[in-house]
Amino acid sequence: MVGLAGVSVTFAARRDPVLRDVSLRLAPGEQVVLLGPSGSGKSTVLHTVTGVVPHTVPAQVEGEVTVAGTPTGDTTVVERSRHLGVLAQDPSAGVCLPVVEQELALPMENDAVEPGEIDARIDAALEMVGVAHLRARATSQLSGGESQRVALAAATVTRPQVLLLDEPTSMLDGDGVGAVRAALSRVVGRQGAATVLVEHRLDEWAGDRGVAALPGRAVVLDESGRVAADGPTEDVLALHGPRLHAMGCWLPLETELRALTGAAGGLAHADNVALLERLADQGAEEAGPAPVPDPLHPATGADDAVLLSTSGLAVARTTPARRRREPAARPVLAGVDLQVRPGEVVAVLGANGVGKTTLLLTLAGLLPPAAGAVAGPRPGLVFQNPEHQFVASSVRAEVAHGLRAVTDGGLDGVVDRQLRRHRLEHLADQNPFRLSGGEKRRVSLAAMLAHERRVLLADEPTLGLDRRDAIAVASTLADVAAGGGAVVLASHDLRLVATVATRVLVLGEGGVLTDAPTARALGDEAVLDRARVRLPALVGWLVHRRPDDLRTVLRGLDRSVAVASPAPDRPGGCR
């Protein structure tokens, strides 16, 4: 169905090849997950199959890529589209029509599907990914997670022979991850589609079934872009798990623990449980005796001043009005009373579409409150989509943009520090729009942190990042708080939340369901069920067995990656 024979790819802006002599064949109905370190070329493999490389993105390509027996160099986009369904890292980039049902109808119309079939196929595709209720929704009003599900429906509605999925769950809540996994299973079962999956959230994808829930075949690309392993997924993870873990790849929990202890079986094995208990005990010894808490004056930072507050806040998704008498948008959240103090990292949780991004945009002053007020100095915001805040043509210029307004000296020193901190020195002269998803995320964070605002808002700050970079982001957010600032972040990455947040706001049913310290909030099963928040197995285990050591254990596991990671100035980790 798909074949790569001796394929090497070199981009004009990069000195070394991204892919080297890659040969890979995908049979009809076969399921493959691509693993490997950052820069190994997983996304480039997908782009060569679609023909984006080299027809849209210039590159020197050696070898041959075929789809349905025809070389991609000899076929047009229209011809390739008849065989391929594609979900890109940024699903919103492919949206071109104003209403969801139109977005799904377009590819079928391009394929000359009988008009009488189109309605039923739209309903079936949306139902399959759990968003039938969004059929009449404006695409501009979709949340990131909703856009991702709609994009998957659009990719499958033409019943393609091959599905190429580049991080299809990166923006989804727990229910969404399960819905996408189940939808792909149905697509394969009904349509026999072959699938190539690139995915960071392998632990959540695996779910209760563990490694058995992953695609049956795994292909590992090494740091140089060569195929390092190819075989049954369970065998590949067992053999190469320690190396993948050391490089900072996200792995299913049972593979991660096995890489550290050598014991299979995940949390059911005594050796793995002993490791977690040992990390908890070591952390308690290093921390010394716990201070006696003062319930009236909790310790939140250098002082008790409120940096950011809201009163009776209601927020609504708004777009530029096309008519003066256009009715006001209905609030998605109301009655939000929030106080953020120095030293706090406040995590905002909730299902897709609940209003997390809308709340951050309102706190940042980019959307007007539907009711109530926001008080405090304007915070900095790291967008969910990094490209939405890029304004410069080089990484260095992007980090430097606007700094002259806040500092009249040492500009180069500020920029250089951020480039080093976020492993961007080797990309300083590159166009930020041409970077990988993870690299874009690092640039957007570096650019905002350069301004040293007291409050940082971060929308899905680890989206698209490998584990090593996610660990670095967690450390950076903790440093902001430790330095007397505060962070408010929205995320579906509950491991990040459990590692770095001091407090959790759970949203649902149009308001705030709870506002509590992290372990208490994550241990409230009734609230999490109402909010449709699903804890990863490791976080759930710790919350119920070692809640006081939640952060200690997770940071201990992170150190096992940091110690074994590549040098800071070298691209590493998985993407």
pLDDT tens digit sequence for 546-560: 999 999 999 999 998
Distance CA 314, CA 368 (A): 10
CA 292 to chain centre: 38
Q: How confident is the model at residue 326 (pLDDT cuts 50, 70, 90)?
A: low
Q: What value does the mean pLDDT take over residues 289-317?
A: 67
Tell me if 484 sits within 8 A of 340, measured CB to CB.
no
Tell me if 38 sits within 8 A of 31, measured CB to CB.
no
172-194 pLDDT tens trace:
888 778 877 887 887 777 778 89
484-530 pLDDT tens trace:
999 999 999 999 999 999 999 999 999 999 999 999 999 999 999 99
**Predicted pLDDT at 223:** 82
Q: How confident is the model at residue 65 (pLDDT cuts 50, 70, 90)?
A: very high
In this structure, what are the phi and psi dihedrals at residue 372, rounded to the nearest 5 degrees? Answer: 75, -165
**pLDDT over threshold 80, residue 464:** no
The CB density around residue 64, as the number of other CB atoms within 10 Å, is 14
Q: How confident is the model at residue 304 (pLDDT cuts 50, 70, 90)?
A: low
Classify burial at 231, counting beta carbons within 10 Å of its beta carbon; exposed 0-12, middle 13-18, buried 19 or more: middle
Tokens of 80: 């390739």
The CB density around residue 491, as the number of other CB atoms within 10 Å, is 21
Range with the lowest mean pLDDT among 86-100, 280-294, 368-382, 440-454? Answer: 280-294
**pLDDT greater at residue 122 or residue 409:** 122
Tokens of 436: 């990988």
Q: Which residues fall within 8 angstroms of residue 199, CB to CB, at 6 or more apart?
A: 33, 165, 167, 168, 169, 205
pTM (predicted TM-score): 0.85
H/E run at residue 54: helix 52-55
Distance CA 467, CA 529 (A): 27
3-class DSSP string for 225-244 = CCEEEEEEHHHHHHHHHHHH
The one-letter code for the residue type at 306 is V
Q: Which residues of 20-39 are buried (b: 16+ CB within 10 A; e: fewer)?
A: bbbebebeeebbbbbbbbbb
Range with the lowest mean pLDDT among 154-163, 209-218, 287-296, 443-452? Answer: 287-296
Number of H helices, E strands in the chain: 21, 19
**Predicted pLDDT at 426:** 87
How would you list the strands of the sheet with 227-232, edge to edge?
84-87, 162-166, 194-198, 31-35, 217-221, 227-232
Distance CA 66, CA 75 (A): 10
**Predicted pLDDT at 93:** 73
Q: How confident is the model at residue 298 (pLDDT cuts 50, 70, 90)?
A: very low
Range with the lowest mean pLDDT among 74-78, 166-170, 207-211, 391-395? Answer: 74-78
Compute the mean pLDDT over every residue in the chain, rounded to the nearest whole number.
87
**pLDDT over threshold 60, residue 393:** yes
Q: Which of 126-130, 156-160, 256-260, 465-469 has the highest mean pLDDT?
A: 256-260
Domains defined for the chain, CATH in brackets: 305-318+331-379+453-515+529-535+544-564 (3.40.50.300), 380-450 (no CATH)
Q: How confident is the model at residue 39 (pLDDT cuts 50, 70, 90)?
A: low
